[in-house]
Structure 1
Amino acid sequence: MDLLDLPDNPVPPDTAVVAAVTGDGVTLRVARFPADRRPVRGTVVIFQGRGEQIEKYFRVVGELRARGFAVVAFDWRGQGGSARLVGADVGHVGRFSDYRLDIEAVRRQVALPDCPPPFFGLGHSMGGHILLAAAEILPPWLSRLVLTAPMLDFQGQSRARLRRIAGLVCALGLGATGTPGHGERVAAVRRFEGNPLTGDRAMHRIMMDLTAIRPDLGVGTPTWRWVLEAARSMDRMDEPDFPATVPLPVLMVNSGGDRIVSPAAVERMARRLRTAGYVLVPGAEHEVTMERPAYRAQFWAAFDAFVPGSAA
């Protein structure tokens, strides 16, 4: 349950690391960070992407604390320092709705008892997808959502084809096996030149160091069950009645240069939602909050304009 402390990515001061246990018995690693200034403006809960870990967000945590927010960050089931479901070499989930159990555990056991209201959600990639899919159950706890590069469709791959293949593999009882091609994807990510995550060299080095020093914080390829459940959840979001299930204000921040999730799908969803704001950051790679300063500044300007009381 400890956090990895690196010289260029130190654990923020006054951090508390605790465990939360979900309704189905999965232990989650959760961290609480107090605000750095007064008055305290509430709490931002970070909902990370697939394969990420709390440590990756230390710089984001610092930005939020300096704005007067307390912060909660946690590792989803099956990744980071939380309990693994079928082993560390694959990223697995039985159903995407299981992630709602993680949200509920963090809400009841950490956020509500120990953190100041009001509460806001900051979700990235898979975390943004999970928040949007679960939006109907989030109020009155979370009052606004900020989603960066939410995973609403796969980029450069046919969802229908992936769904068919994953469905067949799962029907054969092999849903917990990993998808192929992971080695090539990892190699592309680990090289700074041309990587699809960020153009910020220092942040890229931190991302790579985290799992090089602590391999247990990393996660391997998604399983075929994860792919199938992700595709089914995306299909649900495409249904005409889905926008009516999102009752709270949402800011969608789209990375114009994204090569991991589909920027076009993010833009389409922003048009469909009744309560959505939309910001495009042209040229930004997938990790806009961890990008070069010019891109990060655009994100934080949008965040400050959207989240009540956040401007300095």
Structure 2
Amino acid sequence: MDLVDIPENPVPSGAVTGAITTSDRFTLRFARWRPTTRKGLGTVCVFTGRAEFIEKYFETIGELRDRGFSVAALDWRGQGGSQRLLKNPRKGHIDDFSQFDRDLAAFMEKVVLPDCTPPYFALAHSMGGNILLRNSRRAPAWFERQVLSAPMLELAGRRASSPYVHGLAEILGLIGLGNSYVPGGSSTAASVRPFKGNVLTLDPGRFHRNNDIIDAEPGLGLGSATIGWLWAAGEAMREVMHPDFAPRVRVPTLMVAAGDDRVVSTRAIESLAFRMKIGSHIVIPAARHEILMERDSIREQFWAAFDAFVPGSPVFG
């Protein structure tokens, strides 16, 4: 699928797009760009969260290019313009997060390392942050540094993150219901729900812009998660929150948490950061889950933290 271009969200100039195949033969969509300046500071790889797609980050990609970075992005399997896992393309499904690890490896080996300028940095949101953290223990590391926006370490709320919910998802999967929507779930794309009452952002313009992308290309939309996804996500979150995990992270990491996050647990982000040897965090007050889709005043705080952490950004001169 080509990148979707709409007046409110034009494709950044100079895009190179294509498809790659993973080791288990899934097809993934990717895109990459050169910087708009001559600085040549390396490459930032952008990794989306659940139900997201490359087009949603065009604004962010432009801001990275203006800083002097090349940018590369992909759609995880099962979402965006990549191959879906079930016959119903609206179901957000995965059997195990190790499948996402294969996506990351294919992307790095077939797109980033051959065609993008080092050094390599990562910018990941939510589910993407979990995937990057879990892969940050490998040697050699893929990235020099990584910035994680509201990483998915635990779900918000005691009920959502309880062992009971995880155990129930496992039982339902074992009796053949893993491909079913979570209770109350539907095929309605998360991005096209009303702005009023949403838990993602306080910015109506960016919220509606993302809706318009789905309106222009419904194939990008993804509905609720499946029971199988919920179980797999629970396993991945347990892994990163295990007491032995934090000291083994090899990539310097900045986690940016949202002060009013109702999707993932900000407390879990703070807890993990305190246990990491080469990790830190900040909390942006009042921000909701999608920090990079937030109001300008909130996004400015994110970029100030990014610029202070990633070598070559404006604060480094």
Normalising by structure 1, what TM-score?
0.96
1:62/1:187 CA distance change after superposition, 3 Å: closer
Q: Give the deviation of 1:195 after TM superposition.
A: 1.3
Instruction: Output aligned runs, 1:55-66, within 5 Å.
Output: 55-66=55-66
Give the equivalent residue in structure 2 for 1:268: 271
| Greater mean alpha carbon deviation, residues 59-68 or residues 195-204 | 195-204
Distance 2:105 2:3 in 1: 22
- Indicate if the aligned counterparts of 2:187 and 2:222 stay in contact, CA closer than 8 A: no
Shift of 1:145: 0.8
Is residue 236 of structure 2 the alignment partner of residue 236 of structure 1? no
Query: 1:188–1:220: structure 2 CA closer, same or farther, 3 Å change rule?
Result: closer
1:112 aligned to 2:116?
Answer: no
Query: What is the deviation of 1:185?
Result: 8.4
- Structure 2: gaps of 5 or more residues: none
Q: Distance in 2 between matches of 1:260 and 1:186?
A: 16
SS at match of 1:51: coil
Task: Compute the displacement of 1:187 (Å).
Answer: 7.8
Aligned residues of 1:44 and 1:72 also touching (Cα < 8 A): yes
> Secondary structure of the residue that 2:39 maps to in structure 1?
coil
SS in 2 for 1:197: coil
Contact 1:169 1:175 survives alignment (8 Å): yes
CA deviations over 1:270-294 (Å, ceiling 9, x no partner)? 1111111211100001111111010
C-alpha deviation, 1:220, in angstroms? 1.5
Residue 281 of structure 2: aligned partner? 278
1:310 positional shift: 1.1
Shift of 1:139: 3.8
Q: Per-residue displacement from partner, 1:15-34 (whole Å, max 9, x unpaired)?
A: 01111110000000000011
User: In 2, Cα distance between the equivalents of 1:267 and 1:140?
Assistant: 23
- 1:242 and 1:260 map into 2 onto residues whose CA distance is 22
| Cα distance per residue 1:21-51 (max 9 Å; x no partner) | 1000000000001101012100000110000
Taking the TM superposition and a 5 Å limit, the aligned residue runs for 1:201-220 are 201-220=204-223
Please state if 1:49 is matched with 2:46.
Answer: no
Segment drifting more, 84-93 vs 4-13: 84-93
Cα RMSD for the two superposed structures: 1.6
Aligned-pair distance for 1:141?
2.7
**Identity between Structure 1 and Structure 2 (%):** 46
Whole-angstrom distance in 2 between the partners of 1:5 and 1:197:
23
CA pair 200-138 structure 1, distance change in 2 beyond 3 A: farther
2:103 alignment partner in structure 1: 102
Aligned with residue 255 of structure 1, among 252, 255, 258: 258
Preserved CA contact (<8 Å) 2:155 2:263: yes
SS at match of 2:177: coil
Determine the structure 1 residue equivalent to 2:32: 32
Determine the structure 1 residue equivalent to 2:127. Answer: 126
Tell me, yes or no, if structure 1 residue 191 matches structure 2 residue 194: yes
What amino acid is aligned across from residue 111 of structure 1 in structure 2? V
Aligned-residue offset at 1:175: 1.0
1:36 partner amino acid: T
Q: Which amino acid aligns with 2:32?
A: R
Compare 44-53 and 178-187 and name the one that shifted more: 178-187
Aligned to 1:12: 12
CA distance in 2, matches of 1:185, 1:110: 32
Is the alpha carbon distance of 1:184 and 1:115 closer, same or farther for their aligned partners in structure 2, counting shifts above 3 Å?
closer
Local SS of the residue matching 1:259: coil
Instruction: Figure out how many residues of one structure are paired with residues of the other and give that number.
Output: 312
Distance change (3 Å), C-alpha of 1:184 and 1:29: closer
CA distance in 2: counterparts of 1:148 and 1:291, whole angstroms:
12
The answer to whether the Cα contact below 8 Å between 2:51 and 2:190 also exists between their aligned partners in 1 is no
- CA distance in 1 between partners of 2:55 and 2:139 (Å): 25
